Structure 1
Amino acid sequence: MKMVYEGKTKTVYALEDGNFLLKFKDDVTGEDGVFDPGANTVGLTIEGAGKTGLRLTKYFFEILEEKGIPTHFVNANIEEATMTVKPAQMFGNGLEVICRYRAVGSFLRRYGMYAEEGQELDGFVEVTLKDDERQDPPISEDALAMLNILSYEEYKRLKELTKEIGAIIKEVLLKKGIELYDIKLEFGRVGENKDITLIDEISGGNMRAFKDGEYIEPLTLGKIILEN
C-alpha cells in the first residue's frame, strides 16, 4: 500500500489490485475554528468526525447505488476509518459541484446584492475549480468546455447527477426533520467507458443542514441520520 495523496480531510493510498484506499481524518474544512463545507482550508478538528463521516458516506452511497446512481464505492472498514474505492480520473485538477437549496455561504457573499440570507433556491448547481491559490473560483459551462476540462455533454450529465443526488439526500434528511441547505459533491471518470461517477464522500462535512432553524454540526448530523 503506497500513499499517493495527503488531503485536507483524507489520506489516499494505492492498493495492489488497482483500487484506492481512503483514510478518513478528524479534520473538517472551515476558517477561524468555524466549519464551512465550501472552505479550502482545514478549520478545525472534531474527534470522531472521520469515522462518523465514513459511516454516513457508506450509508448514502449504498442508498444511491440502490437507486442506480454510479459511485466509486467498493467497501468500508468503519473501525479503521477507511474506504476502498475504484480508480477515477479527475476533471482537470479537480472540480467541486455544489447543489444549493438556500442562499447561504459563498453564494450569499457573491450575490448578496440580489439574494437574501436563507432565500430558497431551486437546486442551483454551481461548479468551482479545486484551486486553493485562487480560492476555488466558480467556473461556467462554456469555460469548462473551452479549457478542455470537460465537454458540454459531460457537463449536462454532471448537472443531472448533481440535482438527482441532491434531491435524494434532501429527502433522506427531511425524514429526520432536517433541511438541507447545500451539498458539495465531487465526480470523476470511472471505468473503460469513462462514465461520470460520484467520488470522494458524502458526510456532514460536505453539507449545511438545519433542524428547527438551528445549524447542525457535522458530527451531530451524522449521529441524527444514523440513529434508528
Structure 2
Amino acid sequence: MARRRKLYEGKAKIMYEGPEPGTIIQYFKDDATAFNNQKQGVITGKGVLNNRISEYLMTKLTEIGVPNHFIRRVNMREQLVHEVEILPVKLVVRNVAAGSLAKRFGLEEGTQLPRSIIEYYYKSDELNDPMISEEHITCFGWAATQDLDDMVTLSLRVNDFLVGLFLGVGLRLIDFKLEFGRWYNEHDEVQIVLADEISPDNCRLWDVATNEKMDKDRFRRDLGGVKEAYQEVARRLGVLPEAGPMDLKGPKAVQ
C-alpha cells in the first residue's frame, strides 16, 4: 500500500500530497454527515459513486469552458486535482424551494422559484457555516470583489448547464453547493476555479416524474435507500462502476 502525506481530512474526503508539485490526491470516503456533523453514518460504496459522478460532471464542465481543479480519476476512490487555495465562502444556487430556504420563508417545498437565487455561506464548522452577504465577504477579505464576480458568473454557468444535463436523464436540480479556489498556473497567473466535488452529497436531485429524492436528503431525513439513490443517479448518467461500488481502502498516511 502506498504511503502518502495526508494534508487534510474533511467530512467526506481526504486530501493527500500529489505525485507532482501543485497536485493533490482527493480520496472519497463513505462517511456521511448532516446538520453540521451532528448526524453521522457510513454508506458503503458512496465514495466510489461520488468519485465517478463528480469526475463525469467536472469533465463535462471542462468541455464547456468552466475552469475547475479536476485533472483525472486515479482509481475507484481517488482523483488527481490541481492544488488550489480554497476560498472560505460556499455558494449555494437554488432553483426550487427546499431545505433551509423553504423553512426560512415558509415556502412549500418544491415551489419553483421565479429565478435562481445565489446565497453565500462562510466555511466554518465551529460557526455552523453561517449565511453571509457580499459586504461580509469583501469587508473581512475572504474574497475580492472581482473574485466574487467570477464565482457568481461561474455558478450561473454551472447551474444553466447542470439543469439541462440532469433534466435529460429525468432529474430535477433543486439546489446545489459550490466551492471555489485560487489556482496559480505555470505562469504564476491567478485564476478562480471550481473545486471540491459535484455529487448527490452536495446537490438536491429529485426524480422529474415522482419527485422522489435522489440525494443526501435521504440520509438527513432517514428515508432509507441512500446508496440505491446514488447508484440510480450514476446509472442515469452512465457512470455506474462496472464492478459495483465495492470498497477500496485508501493509502496509508504519513504525517
TM-score, normalised by the number of residues in structure 2? 0.80
Distance 1:177 1:105 in 2: 21
Does residue 70 in structure 1 map to residue 63 in structure 2? Answer: no
Whose relative contact order is higher, 1 or 2, with alpha carbons under 8 Å and at least 6 apart?
2
Does residue 125 in structure 1 map to residue 129 in structure 2? Answer: no
Do the aligned residues in 1 keep the contact of 2:71 with 2:82 (CA within 8 Å)?
Answer: yes
What residue in structure 1 maps to residue 220 of structure 2? none
Matches within 5 A, 1:71-90: 71-79=68-76, 81-90=77-86
Shift of residue 151, structure 1, vs aligned partner: 1.4
Matches within 5 A, 1:122-201: 122-191=115-184, 192-201=188-197
Distance 2:151 2:205 in 1: 23
Shift of residue 16, structure 1, vs aligned partner: 4.5
Partner amino acid for 2:66? I
Shift of residue 193, structure 1, vs aligned partner: 2.2
What residue in structure 2 maps to residue 36 of structure 1? none
What residue in structure 2 maps to residue 35 of structure 1? none
What residue in structure 1 maps to residue 47 of structure 2? 50
Bigger drift between 48-57 and 21-30 goes to 21-30
Q: 1:56 to 1:42 in 2, by over 3 A?
A: farther
Does residue 25 in structure 1 map to residue 25 in structure 2? Answer: no
SS at 1:58 equivalent: helix
Do the aligned residues in 2 keep the contact of 1:128 with 1:138 (CA within 8 Å)?
Answer: yes
Partner amino acid for 2:103? R
What residue in structure 1 maps to residue 97 of structure 2? 103
Q: 1:219 to 1:95 in 2, by over 3 A?
A: farther
Please identify the structure whose Cα radius of gyration is greater: 2
SS at 2:48 equivalent: helix
SS at 1:8 equivalent: coil
- Indicate the percent of aligned positions where both proteins have the same amino acid: 29
Partner amino acid for 1:84? L
Q: Deviations over 1:93-127 (max 9, x none)?
A: x2221111111111122222xx3322212221111
Gaps of at least 5 residues in structure 2 are 215-228, 241-255
Partner amino acid for 1:205? D
Does residue 224 in structure 1 map to residue 247 in structure 2? Answer: no
TM-score, normalised by the number of residues in structure 1? 0.88
Number of aligned pairs? 216
Distance 1:189 1:27 in 2: 27
Q: 1:140 to 1:40 in 2, by over 3 A?
A: farther
Which of 178, 182, 204 is the matching residue for 1:208?
A: 204
Bigger drift between 180-189 and 115-124 goes to 115-124
